Amino acid sequence: MIDPMTVKEKVAAALKDAMKSREQDRLSTLRLINAAIKDKEIALRGDGEEGTVGDAEVLAILGRMVKQRQESARAYEEGGRLELAEKELAEIKVIEGFLPRQLSGEEVDAAVAKAIAGVGATSIRDMGKVMAALKAKYTGQMDFGAVGPMVKDKLA
């Protein structure tokens, strides 16, 4: 059964729950997520578009937030600031709770092959079409920075 709640609604519900249960660390992370979503909505309104973001945009925001925190945690660990690294890792766990399950290496390979066949890609010129097809179907489920070179190799 598909969950009728949008990711944005799930974040709002989790925010209320965290407030009620007084989970300060979780609450601060959820507020950051909510602020990032609101920032995107404000930016869309500024561009003259409708001021609501869909699940795909929210998942993209969450993916960026995870990536930022992974980089920060790595930098803190290298700098010997383990308490700050642990805080970043804890935030990642909260954010990942809203992301769909990440695909395994084999699943990513299969998805890339299916997308290449689906758009009829034959050369590197078709890479944009393949990436667009993957992003439309697998946003939040794979790291597109790593998938890009994989698609390029298969089309070369």
Residue 149 CB-density burial (10 A; 0-12 exposed, 13-18 middle, 19+ buried): exposed
pTM for the structure as a whole: 0.71
pLDDT per position as a tens digit, 17-62:
999 999 898 999 999 999 999 998 888 887 776 767 888 788 888 8
26 and 60, same domain (yes or no): yes
pLDDT per position as a tens digit, 108-156:
888 888 888 888 888 888 888 888 888 888 877 887 888 888 888 888 8
91 and 119, same domain (yes or no): no
89 and 30, same domain (yes or no): yes
49 and 114, same domain (yes or no): no
31 and 79, same domain (yes or no): yes
Q: Where are the alpha helices (DSSP H) in the chain?
A: 7-21, 24-46, 55-78, 82-96, 105-119, 127-138, 144-155
**Domain residues for 121?**
105-155
Residue where a domain stops, chosen among 52, 72, 96: 96
